[in-house]
Amino acid sequence: MVDSRPFTIALVAGEASGDTLGAHLVSALKKHLPNARFVGIGGPKMIKEGMTSWWPQEKLAVMGYVEVLKHYREIVGIRKQLKARLLADAPDVFIGIDAPGFNLDLEIDLKRRGIKTIHYVSPSIWAWKAKRIHKIKRAVNHILALFPFEPELYKAEQIPVTYVGHPLADVFPIDPPKADIREQMKIGMSRPVFAMLPGSRQSELKQHASLFVKTAKLIAEQVPDALFLVPLMTRETREIFEKACFKEDCSAFEMNLMYGHAPEAMAAADVVLVASGTATLEAALMKRPMVITYKMSPITWWLMTRKMYLPYVGLPNILSKEFVVPEIMQKKATPQSLSVALLESFRNKDLQVSLKERFTNLHLLLKQNTAQKAAEAVLQVMGINR
């Protein structure tokens, strides 16, 4: 069914992964609502789909308690202005995509004023001791959950929820074409390749750039013909990494800095070093062995670990409910510890076969035609019959 009425759909996506989710959703909704207007805050992919972003997405892409505090006044100011704009010209529905720290309070205010609210990506209520689910109940009319174990948590609290799977599982091939990608990139199949994903935010690059470069140097000492592929999201993050390369002198080994193309880098790689986040799921969907790492300010880390409920933070481990790949975090994340773990994963062929089987099963579980399922749930909340 196609509805030609001029609906207004407001969305807020706070970072790169949310931009991908939002772009897929906008594309799916346009098939049903060709005259709909999409407004709010989004990234380049959402804008390409026709969304009007009132503020740059980068303004919200801040991670960690200390880091958020540095930008607190600006972020709160944006939320206040956005709320006023949405209340003055109410959309037919508001969709907060992840970014619960920004979106949940906004959703509470909008819902109180009669605007229907949807939160896309369940906040990690399964990972933290904080009773955030009660706040979510006040904030949303509906939750779109990416992972299969989440709906039962919401149903227990009588919060409407739909399991939609993960869109990356729809996009990524079940059997990644490693040989084809390497041929396109002019990389021989016998060459050792390490993909290094230090994060998408500038704050993450400031923590990880030097660490990743030093790790590559140690690996290159043992694997002299190793190639390191480093996909970076923006000019700013690339500049931070380039400075680290210059400081540590990367001339003794080959490191290719790429603009984007993270899936291709992972598909071409034998092993992946990845900052914790959505990229860990991408590496799993590419069926690649990985080492997960993350560093943040000591205060942020201390506050976060006090609230942690699960012993792991990487999505492959969370979904598997065990440590299937190493997590080396904070103080333990040194060039020495990371290089040892990466080389073990590179050399252990039995591990690679086992992980490929595990990650294939995970891929099939998450492959749900996510964008279409999410769009159908949004239409239902809007009261539109398909």
Whole-number pLDDT of residue 62: 54
- Local confidence pLDDT in tens for the 386 residues of the chain: 666 678 999 999 988 788 889 999 999 999 999 999 999 999 999 999 999 999 887 767 654 444 455 656 778 888 999 999 999 999 999 999 988 888 999 999 999 999 999 999 988 776 554 567 889 999 999 999 999 888 988 998 899 999 999 988 998 999 999 999 999 999 999 999 999 999 988 889 999 999 999 999 999 999 999 999 999 988 999 999 999 999 988 888 999 999 989 999 999 999 999 998 889 999 999 999 999 999 987 777 776 666 665 677 889 998 998 999 999 998 999 999 999 999 999 999 999 999 999 999 999 999 999 999 999 999 999 999 76
| Cα radius of gyration rounded to whole Å, the chain | 21
SS3 label, residue 251: coil
pTM of the model: 0.80
| Whole-number pLDDT of residue 1 | 60
Phi, psi angles (nearest 5°) of residue 228: -115, 125
| CB 181 within 8 Å of CB 264 | yes
Handedness of CA 188, 194, 195, 198 (dihedral sign): negative
Locus of tokens 């990608």: 181
Asked if 313 contacts 294 with a C-beta cutoff of 8 angstroms, the reply is yes
Amino acid at 90: A
pLDDT in tens, 22-32: 999 999 999 99
Q: How many CB atoms within 10 Å of residue 278?
A: 22
CA gap 45, 16 in Å, rounded: 9
Please provide residue 53's backbone torsions phi and psi, each rounded to the nearest 5 degrees. Answer: -95, 120
Burial track 133-157 (b if 16+ CB lie within 10 A, e otherwise): bebbeebbbbbbbbbeebbebbeee
Coil/strand/helix, residue 290: strand
Q: Where are the alpha helices (DSSP H) in 89-173?
A: 100-112, 132-139, 151-155, 167-171
Helix (H, G, I), strand (E, B) or coil at 119: strand
Pairwise CA distance, residues 243 & 227, whole Å: 19
String of DSSP letters for 266-282: HHH-SEEEEESSHHHHH
Helix %, strand %, coil % for the chain, to 5? 50, 15, 35
Contacts of 153 (CB under 8 A, 6+ apart): 122, 125, 126, 133
- Whether the CB-CB separation of 43 and 13 falls below 8 Å is answered with yes
User: Facing residues of 30 across strands?
Assistant: none
Cα(234)–Cα(238) distance, integer angstroms: 6
Domains of the chain by range and CATH?
Answer: 8-165+368-381 (3.40.50.2000), 178-366 (3.40.50.2000)
Neighbours of 258 (CB within 10 A): 15
Question: In which order are the strands placed within the sheet that holds 193-197?
Answer: 254-259, 227-232, 193-197, 271-275, 290-294, 327-329
Q: Three-class SS of residue 332?
A: helix
Question: Alpha carbon of 88 to those of 116, 234, 382: distances in Å?
Answer: 15, 34, 19
Q: ∠ CA(156), CA(158), CA(160), 5° rounding?
A: 115
**Of the candidates 57, 23, 60, which has an alpha carbon nearest to the alpha carbon of residue 171?**
23
Amino acid at 146: L
Give the C-alpha distances (Å, rounded to integers) separating 191 from 35, 58, 115, 268, 305. Answer: 50, 36, 55, 10, 39
Give ∠ CA 117-123-125 in degrees, rounded to 5.
125
